[in-house]
Amino acid sequence: MARHAVLQFRPEKSRLKESLLRLRAHLEALRPHAPEVVVLPEAALTGYFLQGGVRELALTRHELLELFSELHQALGWEGLLDVVVGFYERDGGAYYNSAAYLELPHRVVHVHRKVFLPTYGVFDEERYLARGSRVAAFTTRFGRAAILICEDFWHSITAAIAALDGAEVIYVPAASPARGFQGERPENVERWRNLARAVAAEHGVYVVLASLVGFEAGKGMSGGSLAVGPDGRVLAEAPLFEEAALLFALDRERIPPVRYDAPLLSDLEASLPLLLPDLERLAKGGLKEVP
């Protein structure tokens, strides 16, 4: 069992130091619950809609680790603490929408760079950011995990790759402006909930969504963070439009029996070699009729 906390967080937009101070207060409040993994949203330290401000606020992964190691020390946290955090990353002359898995106080375990950059409607990511080029699972002290950032998760192929690569949990830092208010929840929140349940049930994985809240450029980030078990059942769910902490435990031992009863992932593994030629054909732009 790995004790988790999702922090549905509102950063101080474009004010890194102030956001870190607010984060410190939240972690201090969580201390009595002794979480082993804390999951934060996309762009959790700066806010999402930065546009050209990305260049001034982006961090290298080493700088990110240094900031969080200092925070870990300032809190006097006993023992290790794993943190999943979305941030704008600087690497040489390129900038990325990234999320890191940190094992505090000393190690960057993995950094995922967002592959699918929304550049439509209110979104303009590709104008300011470079695309990531990989989806890969990685090993933590609690087992195999993967990170997908926001729109990455809306494409079914990415979760399939993560699950095939051995992920037992998929962490999804997100920043989703509320839209569509005809039902009980905004339409985007309902879509996130349905996607998380479907992905979890199809692949027999845990899905942990950490969603930003707060208002930026007149747009309200909806929240609605949640955790879903490998059978597709919602384990914990946060309210809308306000900061919150979700506390829950992930039990890896639940995964094998779920996958035994619904062996969709093993069927995909067995059939993947048969599908690879078509994937390669499509990657090369081949749309011709196949006999």
**Residues of the chain under the 70 pLDDT cut:** 288-291
Total Cβ atoms within 10 A of residue 254:
16
Does any domain span residue 124? yes
Does any domain span residue 149? yes
Distance CA 277, CA 286 (A): 11
Domain count, the chain: 1
Non-local CB neighbours of 162 within 8 Å, separated by 6+ positions: 135, 136, 137, 146, 148, 170, 205
Does any domain span residue 151? yes
Residue 291: predicted pLDDT: 64
Residue 55: predicted pLDDT: 95
Does any domain span residue 291? no
Does any domain span residue 289? no
Residue 218: predicted pLDDT: 84
Does any domain span residue 290? no
Residue 37: predicted pLDDT: 98
> Is the Cβ–Cβ distance between 9 and 47 less than 8 Å?
no
Tell me, what amino acid is at 47? G
Non-local CB neighbours of 182 within 8 Å, separated by 6+ positions: none
Non-local CB neighbours of 7 within 8 Å, separated by 6+ positions: 23, 26, 30, 38, 39, 40, 41, 44, 210, 243, 245
Q: How far is CA 202 from CA 34, 64, 254, in A?
A: 31, 34, 15
CATH code of the domain containing 34? 3.60.110.10
Tell me, what amino acid is at 276? L
Q: Which two tokens stand for residue 148?
A: 């997908």
Q: 3-class SS at 154?
A: helix
Q: Which two tokens stand for residue 134?
A: 């990989």
Does any domain span residue 15? yes
Domain span at residue 251? 2-283
